[in-house]
Structure formats: C-alpha cells, structure tokens
C-alpha cells in the first residue's frame, strides 16, 4: 500500500484524542478493578518528545496493567520503520500513540492488548508521509466461546461503517501478525490489526483509528465483569503463568512496536510494561489429554468466531 502524501494531517487533533483515550481507559479499568489505581510516571526522551506511563499493580482484578501514551520525534527514522519503507530514509519523524496491556489475576479473564498510533515523516521541500496503525487482541488461558464471539462482534461492528471487507481483512492480518512461528500457534484468539492506513485520506483514517480505540473498553470490560468472580485453584494459576511465557516470547522475538521503541531510544521501562509481573516456563510441558488446559490448543489458530 503506498504511503500517503496527501490530505495534510492535523497532528494536534490526534494527540488530543490519544490523551483523552488514555484517561478514559484508565478511569474505566480502575473502576472495574475496584481496588487499584493507575500511577502516572511522566518521562522525557533526550532526542525529542516523551510520554506518560500509567501502571496499575496488585489490584483486585488486574495483577498488572499498563496504559501508555508517547509522543516522540527525531531527525532519523529507526531501522524498524525504514526496513520495509526505504522512501522514509533521511526524513524527520513524529510518532505518537496509546498502547496498553492488561494482565489479570484470575486465569479465567484473558490478557488483553490494544494499540492505536500515528506516524508522520517529513522532509523539506517534499510532501509529508503519514499513516495510522493499531488494533486489539485477546489472549485467554481458558477460552469461553461466548467471550470470543463478543470480542469479535464488537470488532466487526466498529469496522462496518468503513467497508464490508474491513473486518475480514484486519482480522486476518491480526491472526497472521500475532503468530508464534516457533510454536506454530497464534498468541490468542485475535481481534484486529492494521498498519500503513492512509488510503481514505486523513479524516476517515483518523475516524477509523478512533473507532478502534473507543471500542476496546466495549469489547473487554464485559468479559472482565463476567469472569472476575469465578473461583480458581493453583492448577489454573500455574497454567496461566505458563501461557504468559508465550506472551513474553512474542513480545521479545516478533513485536514490531517493542523493536521500534527500543531502536528509537524510547523509555525502556515503558516499552517493556507489556511484560507480565509473573510468568513461568516448563521444559516439555504438555497438558493432559481431555483437560481444560488441553482445550486451549484447539483454538490457537485462525477461527471464524462469527
């Protein structure tokens, strides 16, 4: 997809939206948790820009969750951004976004991730090159089909005003992106993933990014409320921690956002807030046939939930 050089973007409008989105998500998740609150940590980047990281730890529902806003800029694009886009070489850049990962206490509540972002690359005497990206995905240890259907129904509904094929296109992209090649399994049950979005012009592309950002709470909070009182034992907790290991593997081996953050000189603590507070690996682990733990593995592939 060619990167857009038309329809000059309104950078300040994007920033205002992202800051308000961070506020709304933190307030709503803290309310759902009922005990913890997000602690804010602001930071500055030496090369330009900064952000505000918000983390909730040891809550009643959320074991650890982070909701980060960042706005960074510089004179040279990181290698992770120019590897597939040589036309960006030698351009100044700005990147801003909200990224979040929520790791719940209860193994029956899935880990969730969401991200919306905006990039613009500029060079004197040439048109700006800009695009939006983002999405959200769900990583359960125990799959409830009604939760998966709800998650994907919200995703499909938000995509509907933008085209009949948008949900299918971005769901497939999510299944392909959040895939651990070395494990031959998806990270979870998917959702939406999009990048390089500029084909509709700035206003419509910005509207789609907002639709994705706004839909995250609608998709996730009902699942949290439904599952947070479910009793569990050490067996479920151990399996949850084992599956969190897969989350770590993906983020450190494949995730482009992690790579971009580290290569662009971002704040390491904020970049790695996506890591779970506890995880475990077990050599040669295989769940007992017919167990609830074994059931998960039949869902770690692209599935038409709707």
Residues 170/159, Cβ–Cβ less than 8 Å: yes
The pLDDT of residue 263: 80
CA proximity to 218, closest of 134, 128, 114, 296? 114
Measured distance CA(302)–CA(223) in Å, rounded: 21
- The residues annotated as belonging to the active site are 113
Q: What is the pLDDT along the chain (306 residues), one digit of tens a residue?
A: 444 444 567 999 999 999 999 999 999 999 999 999 999 999 998 888 999 999 999 999 999 999 999 999 888 776 666 666 777 777 889 999 999 999 999 999 999 999 999 999 988 888 888 999 999 999 999 999 999 999 999 999 999 999 999 999 999 999 999 999 999 999 999 999 999 999 999 999 999 999 999 999 999 999 999 999 999 999 999 999 999 999 999 989 888 888 877 887 778 888 888 899 999 999 999 999 999 999 999 999 999 999
First to last CA, the chain: 28
What is the C-alpha separation between 100 and 212, in angstroms, rounded?
13
Tokens matching residue 170 = 């971005």
- Residue 76 is predicted with a pLDDT of 78
To the question of whether residue 182 is assigned a binding role by annotation, the answer is yes
> Does 213 show up as a binding residue in the annotation?
no
Q: Is 117 annotated as a binding residue?
A: yes
Measuring CA to CA, which residue among 244, 225, 217 is closest to residue 140? 244
Q: What per-residue confidence (pLDDT) applies to 120?
A: 92
Check the annotation: does 198 bind a ligand.
no
**Inter-CA distances, 121 with 50, 258, 270, Å:** 18, 20, 23
User: For the CA atoms of the chain, what is the radius of gyration?
Assistant: 19
Output the pTM of the full model: 0.92
- CA 182 – CA 164 distance, rounded (Å): 34
């Amino acid at each position: 997809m060619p990167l857009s050089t038309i329809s000059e973007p309104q950078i300040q409008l994007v920033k205002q939206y992202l800051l308000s989105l961070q506020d709304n998500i933190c307030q709503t998740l803290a309310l759902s948790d009922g005990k913890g609150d997000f602690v804010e940590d602001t930071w500055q980047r030496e090369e330009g820009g900064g952000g505000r990281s918000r983390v909730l730890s040891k809550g009643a529902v959320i074991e650890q969750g982070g909701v980060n806003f960042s706005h960074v800029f510089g004179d040279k694009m990181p290698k992770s951004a120019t590897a597939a886009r040589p036309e960006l070489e030698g351009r100044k850049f700005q990147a801003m976004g909200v990224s979040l990962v929520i790791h719940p206490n209860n193994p029956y509540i899935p880990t969730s991730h969401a991200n919306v972002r905006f990039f613009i690359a500029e060079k004197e005497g040439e048109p700006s090159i800009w695009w939006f990206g983002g999405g959200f995905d769900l990583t359960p240890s125990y799959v409830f089909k009604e939760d998966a259907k709800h998650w994907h129904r919200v995703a499909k509904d938000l995509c509907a005003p933008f085209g009949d094929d948008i949900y299918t296109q971005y769901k497939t992209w999510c299944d392909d992106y959040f895939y651990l090649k070395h494990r031959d399994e998806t990270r979870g049950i998917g959702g939406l993933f999009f990048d390089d979005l500029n084909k509709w012009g700035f206003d419509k592309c910005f509207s789609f990014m907002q639709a994705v950002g706004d839909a995250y709470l609608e998709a996730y909070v009902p699942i949290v409320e439904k599952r947070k009182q479910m009793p569990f034992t050490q067996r479920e907790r151990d399996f949850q921690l084992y599956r969190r290991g897969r989350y770590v593997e993906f983020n450190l081996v494949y995730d482009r956002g992690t790579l971009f953050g580290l290569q662009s000189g971002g704040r390491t603590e904020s970049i790695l807030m996506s890591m779970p507070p506890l995880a475990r690996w077990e050599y040669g682990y295989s769940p007992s046939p017919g167990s609830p733990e074994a059931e998960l593995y039949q869902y770690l592939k692209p599935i038409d939930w709707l």
